[in-house]
Amino acid sequence: MSLTSDLLDLVYPTNCAACGRRLQKHEEVLCLFCEYDLPQTDFHCDKDNPVAKVFWGRVMLHSAAAFYMFSKGGRVQKLIHQLKYKGWQEVGVKVGALYGAKLKNAADFAGVNLILPVPLHPTKQQKRGFNQSDCFAKGLSQGMGVIWRNDVLLRHTFTETQTRKNRFDRWENVERIFTVTQKNILENKHVLLVDDVITTGATLEACANEVLKVKNVKVSAVSMAFAEAR
């Protein structure tokens, strides 16, 4: 690190996105403590995990999982807040790369050959400046060594935020709002749909229903975190 960088770091220290501790020179986005101590689910090792059960009887997914458990006021919530509302895009890439390295060696996800992020409506993405799920997908791509595309699945209808909606209202809010633009790219693929947080699964269900209309496609889904619906 250059002298200029050292001086800038003294004036504008970079802190861990999850706990707020000052990062050391060898750390990026997460301190080593949080990298290993955040509540990982290991759901990718269990095909009948709680995330997979969210979709049972609703949509035919090959596998589903989430990296972290989400708890209100916890470090995972702060981590996702830094990405989604503070614009720290490297958070999504970092978490995706960490999870991708695990999924690469997980039997149920080893056959994935295309990653698609849940899209934002162009109006919302223009306002926010980025799509948080796209950042996560980019990291997963690095960790898994799998291609990701953000131009195949599009959101054509603007919807209200899902926050504070119940399961039925969330489904009504996202039903029939997604479109697959290039079906030939998805044919004969094992597609991994990715979102930032899974709660009721309504958004991913709606995306999966569109993707599954394509010939001979298999769909799995993962997220950065799982927040149990209450």
Give the confidence band of 194 by pLDDT, cuts at 50, 70, 90: very high
Distance CA 66, CA 225 (A): 5
**Res 174: pLDDT:** 55
Distance CA 37, CA 79 (A): 13
Distance CA 223, CA 25 (A): 29
**Res 1: pLDDT:** 46
Could you report how far apart the first and last alpha carbons of the chain are, in Å? 47
Give the confidence band of 175 by pLDDT, cuts at 50, 70, 90: low
Write the CB contacts of 28 (distance below 8 Å, at least 6 apart in sequence): 90, 94
**Res 204: pLDDT:** 96
**Res 11: pLDDT:** 45
Kindly tell me if the per-residue pLDDT of 100 is higher than 80. yes
Q: What is the mean pLDDT of residues 186-190?
A: 97
Number of residues assigned to the chain: 230
Q: What are the structure tokens assigned to 48, written together?
A: 């009948």
pTM passes above 0.85? yes
Structural domains for the chain:
1-37 (no CATH), 39-226 (3.40.50.2020)
Candidates 223, 230, 181; CA nearest to 69 is 223
Taking all residues of the chain, what is their mean pLDDT, rounded to a whole number?
89
